[in-house]
Structure 1
């Protein structure tokens, strides 16, 4: 099954990220920089983002974490919770062209916004999928 490869907390921005991969535990490097490189090159690594806040709610909570697709807490619409999944691909630009050709909604193209070279697409349920380049990020 999946193993936790690494996690990072960003309390100043009220979120944490967890990277899980389908790999043997012994393949996961001890060094944090090496683990980050491992995450960005592993063929089956998933980034899970926890946006703080929903864990303090009473009762049943369902959140997508995206402002355009709110969830519910005991029947009341709310924001927060789950943000998105992230995947790595060999070529973000080619992947986005393929997604468009297949009818997917591109939420953020690779050249839009301040962070170039990554994209966000929506899955059929409206959840965001971050599309990242396999290997090192270009700064």
Structure 2
């Protein structure tokens, strides 16, 4: 797992001293009793198969919480810092061993489009940016295409260090075994069961199928490097 395209430092420096986001802002980012998928203050919540975390068995449906205050859903504190209004989640970086396998998975299996590739010969690595965009809208001119790529929302940046594909000892930690860290990315689909049927036909590795475990109607699959990908349907998340 690498980086994400928005940092705390960027947020902190975007506003003048004294704005709410630069004074005690951790109270906004880290609710003291927020439950986590790794247990923590909310208690351990395990789901079959081992490794996936879920709510306690007695709870039968998702319960959206309002206990964290209006700032989580509103913009009262954002309005005091106009520089934040155009911020967006732009990219998540994943290191990959073999770009041919990874590009095939993210384009052919998950249906993403390769937006742009960058090579860095002196440092021997390449970057591949992918997302759910119409190929017809990708600009042909290099500078325009670059600016366009970095203006897309929720892209995946695959980082390939040259030679890793031929190194038998090279692999990347997916964050879901000790020491735990990164968990997964999520892909929204219209029909989870249909999507998973297609994945099965393509030989995709499943961590959890839609009807397995206590959380029904969502799935977890793995990409070629073992990173977990949640497959969900926005319209059914309250009933999982």
Q: TM-score, normalised by structure 2?
A: 0.31
Q: Which has the higher strand share?
A: 1
Q: Larger % of helix: which?
A: 2
More relative contact order in 1 or in 2 (CA 8 Å, sep 6+)?
2
Rg: which structure is higher?
2
* TM-score, normalised relative to structure 1: 0.50
